[in-house]
């Protein structure tokens, strides 16, 4: 891993910050409009055991769709890739994340596990086998944050405005792709989206997906003994599936451009987070709640593109 130069990253943060003004907060979940659109931060965990943050990396926000990566990982563990992908596809959808047309064909499956319809199908697989507390403990272990909690106000706000996700869940039920009932699935999914994290927490999760040894990742000074009993071994097959889908579908309709410009597997959430991976070398997370028209953090994308370009991190380059 090449050396991280703090002054250079600080400069990129300053370069990316003005882009936040061109974005908008996610208003379809009213509670998310309470965020500060100027916030921008980044945290990096590298394979040589270093961890460093800049800007607003300690500001809490809701994980939103980044939870879909944890859900996919856990579903692959609890079922098998064959079982999971009998309910959801592996293709970019070419439509916004909450589209009903996210179904590839009305007689088929949702296009991928990262659009809402696909994530609801995965959430129902989880709700069929584990409690939400078990799921929370898994994400807490990934983030090295035992005290991971739900932001109740965001959970309630989304549940009160979840007509679209309800429609998607009912459509999944009609297609016999739900493993738990509609309300149980929506509740599990929405709670997962409402978990409160920081860029620092998500960088630990990213480092895990990057395949960086757990012992090198430390968050908030907790010793390994404080960590939960969750088995954190990472099956290389599951890692490959997650990173491939993040590369092709992680930023919805912005995935292709980001793959060309930054060349890093990544996953965004409308809370403003982006999780990005430099395989084998670094886990990175950004936070900036002002979003572009695809629902991706506008400042976060700019910052990751600049960072990747500056350090030659394009994984195909
Ligand atoms: N909870 C959000 C939703 O279901 C997640 C969307 C996102 O982060 N892209 O719409």
Query: Per the residue annotation, which of 191, 197, 270, 297 is the catalytic one?
Result: 270
Query: What percent of the chain stands above pLDDT 90?
Result: 86
pLDDT of residue 224: 43
Q: What is the pLDDT of residue 251?
A: 97
Give catalytic status of residue 71 as yes or no. no
Average pLDDT over every residue of 214-223: 47
CA distance 66 to 301: 15
Given a cut of 60, is residue 223 above it in pLDDT? no
At residue 107, the pLDDT reads 58
What tokens does 198 get? 């920081």
> Measured between alpha carbons, how far is residue 272 from residues 33, 73, 147 in Å?
11, 21, 21
For residues 182 and 220, which has the higher predicted lDDT (pLDDT)?
182
User: 33: helix, coil or strand?
Assistant: helix
Q: What distance in angstroms lies between residue 119's CA and the mean position of ligand 1's atoms?
A: 10
d(CA 31, CA 156): 9
pLDDT at 222: 46
Q: From residue 314, how far is each of 159, 236, 264, 300 by CA, in Å?
A: 38, 21, 6, 16
- Rounded to whole angstroms, the Cα distance separating 262 from 266 reads 10
Q: Give me the pLDDT at residue 228, please.
A: 59
Give the β-pairing of 61-62 and 273-278.
Answer: unpaired
Q: What is the pLDDT of residue 221?
A: 44
How far is the C-alpha of 245 from the C-alpha of 222, rounded, in Å? 31
Over residues 251-269, mean pLDDT: 97
DSSP helix/strand/coil, 141: helix
Q: For residue 308, indicate whether it is catalytic.
A: no
Give the global pTM. 0.94
Active site residue 68: yes
Give me the mean pLDDT over the 203-220 stretch: 76
The DSSP secondary structure of 143-155, one letter per residue, reads TT-TT--B-HHHH
What does the pLDDT look like over 120-164, one tens digit per residue? 999 999 999 999 999 999 999 999 999 999 999 999 999 999 999
Q: Ligand 1 within 6 A of 198 CB? A: no
Paired tokens of 166: 């309800």
Residue 215 confidence (pLDDT) above 50: no
Q: Which pLDDT belongs to residue 148?
A: 97
Instruction: Reduce the DSSP state of residue 223 to 3 states and report it.
Output: coil
CA dist., res. 294 & res. 57, Å (int): 23
pLDDT single digits (tens) 182-198: 999 999 999 999 999 99
Q: Identify the pLDDT of residue 214.
A: 54
* Other CB atoms within 10 Å distance of the CB of residue 31: 19
Mean per-residue pLDDT for 298-306?
A: 98
**Average pLDDT over every residue of 286-299:** 97
Average pLDDT over residues 292-312: 97
Q: pLDDT grade, residue 108 (50/70/90)?
A: confident
Active site residue 189: yes
> What is the mean pLDDT of the segment spanning 224-228?
48
- Angle, in degrees to the nearest 10, between helices 182-193 and 163-174: 130
pLDDT at site 8:
94
Is residue 197 exposed (0-12), middle (13-18) or buried (19+ Cβ within 10 Å)? buried
Report the distance separating Cα 264 and Cα 262, nearest Å: 6
- DSSP code for 22: G
Average pLDDT over residues 273-279: 97
Query: 227 pLDDT band (50/70/90 cuts)?
Result: low
The two structure tokens encoding residue 109: 């499956």
What is the token pair recorded at 259? Answer: 């793959």
* pLDDT value for 219: 53
Q: Is the CB of 295 under 6 A from ligand 1?
A: yes
Whether ligand 1 lies within 6 angstroms of the CB of 97 is answered as yes
Question: pLDDT band for position 105 (50/70/90)?
Answer: low
pLDDT at 89: 94
Structure tokens at 197: 């994290």
């Amino acid at each position: 891993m090449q050396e991280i130069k703090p002054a250079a990253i600080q400069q990129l943060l300053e370069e990316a910050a003005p882009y936040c003004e061109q974005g908008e907060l996610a208003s379809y979940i009213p509670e998310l409009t309470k965020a500060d659109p100027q916030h921008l931060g980044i945290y990096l965990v590298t394979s040589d055991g270093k961890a460093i943050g800049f800007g607003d990396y300690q500001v809490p926000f809701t994980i939103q769709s980044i939870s879909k990566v944890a859900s996919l990982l856990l579903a692959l563990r609890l079922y098998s890739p064959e079982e999971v992908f009998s309910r959801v596809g592996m293709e970019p959808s070419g439509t916004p994340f909450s589209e009903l047309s996210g179904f590839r064909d009305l007689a088929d499956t949702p296009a991928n596990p990262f659009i809402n319809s696909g994530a609801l199908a995965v959430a129902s697989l989880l709700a069929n086998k584990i409690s939400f507390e078990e799921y929370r403990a898994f994400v807490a272990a990934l983030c090295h944050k035992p005290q991971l909690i739900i932001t109740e106000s965001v959970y309630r706000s989304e549940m009160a405005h979840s007509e679209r996700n309800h429609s998607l869940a009912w459509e999944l039920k009609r297609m016999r792709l739900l493993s738990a009932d509609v309300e149980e699935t929506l509740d599990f999914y929405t709670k997962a989206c409402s978990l409160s994290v920081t860029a620092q927490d998500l960088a630990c999760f990213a480092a895990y997906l990057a395949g960086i040894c757990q012992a090198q990742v430390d968050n908030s000074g907790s010793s390994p003994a404080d960590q939960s009993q969750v088995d954190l071994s990472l099956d290389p097959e599951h890692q490959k599936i997650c990173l491939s889908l993040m590369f092709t579908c992680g930023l919805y309709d912005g995935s292709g451009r980001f793959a060309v410009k930054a060349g890093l597997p990544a996953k965004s959430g409308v809370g403003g987070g982006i999780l990005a991976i430099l395989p084998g070398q670094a886990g990175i997370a950004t936070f900036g709640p002002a979003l572009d028209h695809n629902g991706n953090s506008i400042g976060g994308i700019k910052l990751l593109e600049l960072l990747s370009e500056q350090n030659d991190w394009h994984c195909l380059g």
